[in-house]
Chains A and B, each alone.
Chain A
Amino acid sequence: MAQLVLDVAGISKRYGDVEVLRDVSFQVGKGETVCVLGPSGSGKSTLLRCINWLERPDAGQIYLNGAQVGITGGGLVMGDRDLSRIRTRIGMVFQHFALWPHLTVLQNLMEAPVQVQKRDKAEVRDEALALLAKVGLSEKRDSFPAKLSGGQKQRVGIARALAMRPDLLLFDEPTSALDPELVGEVLVVMRDLARDGMTMVIVTHEMGFAREAATRVLFLDHGRAVETGSPERFFSNPETERARQFLQRYAGDAAGGRR
C-alpha cells in the first residue's frame, strides 16, 4: 500500500442500546478511493462521521497521517481548537449538500480557506475559480445556492471541500438526495477526482460507480466490517453470504428498472 493517510482502528459506537459500529478497522492509502457499501442502517454514515469526529466514537482510534484524531497526546479528548485544526485536513461532502445559503457559490468556496486557514484572499479566489471551472460551474459563481439544481449544489459542495486542499475527502451518500437524472453529473466529478489521485472515502449506494472507480470496497453489515477487497473480486465473487444477498438485491432492483 502507498503512504498511509487514514488508519481506523477498532471503532465502536452505540446509541443507547443500539450498537451502530462494532470494532471496525480499515486503512486508506494515499490516492485510494474506498467505497463503503452496505444495507441502510448498517452504520456507514456513522463510520464516516466518526472519522472527522462529528460523532465521537465510544472506542477505537483514528489516525490521519499518523496523528490521532480526537484524542490529544496526553490522552484527553480534544477541545474545539485541536479538533478544528485536524478537520481542516479532512474535507466532507454532505448528503443534503449543506451549502451555506447566505453566501454565493464563490463565497461558499472561499469562506473557510480565508477565515479558517487565513490564506491570501486573492490566491484563494483564483483557486476557487479554478475549482468551479473543474466542476463545470464557472458561470454560477455569483449565484446563491437556492438558485441551483441538486446536482449543481453537490458539485459546489465538492468544490467547497476541495478548496481547503484536504488530505482526505469524505463523501456521505453524495447522490442519494438527487433526482436520478442529476446523479450522473456528480459521479463524473467524483470519477475525475479518483483519477487525479485524491484520497477519498465514499459512502454510497451507486454500485456501478463503486465497481468502476473504487480502488477498494468496504462492506459493512450490522455495524461490522464484514468484507474488504478489490471491487472486481467483491462484485464478481463476494466471500460472505451477507454480501452475496446484498448484491443480489441490488441486481434485482437494477433488473426491475430501479436504481
Chain B
Amino acid sequence: MIHDFGIVWSERALLLSGFANTAILSALSAVVALLLGCILTPALMSKHQAVSGAARVFVDGMRCVPFLLLAYIVYYGLPSLGIRFDNWTSGLAALIIYNAAYMAEILRGAWVVQPREPIEAGVAFGFSEIKLFRRIILPPLLLSAGPVLGNQMIQIVKDSAFLTIIAIPELTHAASSIQSRHYVPFAAFITAVFLYWGLCLVIEAGVSSVGRVAEARR
C-alpha cells in the first residue's frame, strides 16, 4: 500500500497539473458565473414579464438538467449546428453557463428577503436603476448570500470532475491516468479525493472570512 502511494508520489507532476487545472477551471468559471449571475438576477426580478419570464425559463431549465448532459451538448451537439469548440472551451463554457443560472437563483433568493428600506432610500436619493442595483442592492446580497455562494463554488469544483469524460486533463483525469498506467486505483483516487477536499476547505475558509465581514456590517 505504501508502495502504491510511492508510485503516486513519483507521478506527482501529473497529479499536480491536474489539480492546478481543476483549480483554474473552477475559479475561472466561479468568477464569470457569478458576474453573469449578477446580470441575470435583476432580469429575474424584472417587472417586464417577457424579461423575467425568459430569465426564469433559462434558470429553471439549467436547474433541471444534469451538468454532464449540458457539457455533452456543447462539446458533441453544437458541432452538428456548425459551432465547434475544443474540449477546454466547451468545458469552461458549460461550467459558466450552467452555474450562472444557479448563482442568479441564489442571489434572487437573498434579494427577496432583504429589508426594503435601504433600497427605497436609494430610490429616494435618485439612484438610477442600474446604479441602484450595483451600489445599493448588490453589495449586501453578496455578503448575505456568501455561505450559499460558497456551497455553489464547491459544487462547481465537483462539476468540473465530469469534464474528465470529455478528456480535459483535470484532477480526476490525472488520477485515472495514474491508475491505468500503474494499476494503483486506491492510492491514485484517494489522493485525488483528498486534494478535492483540500480545495473545498480553502473555499470554506474563504467563505467564513467573508461571513465575518458580513457579520461586522450587520
Q: Do chains A and B touch in the complex (CB under 8 A)?
A: no
Using a CB–CB cutoff of 8 Å, the interface residues on chain A facing chain B are none
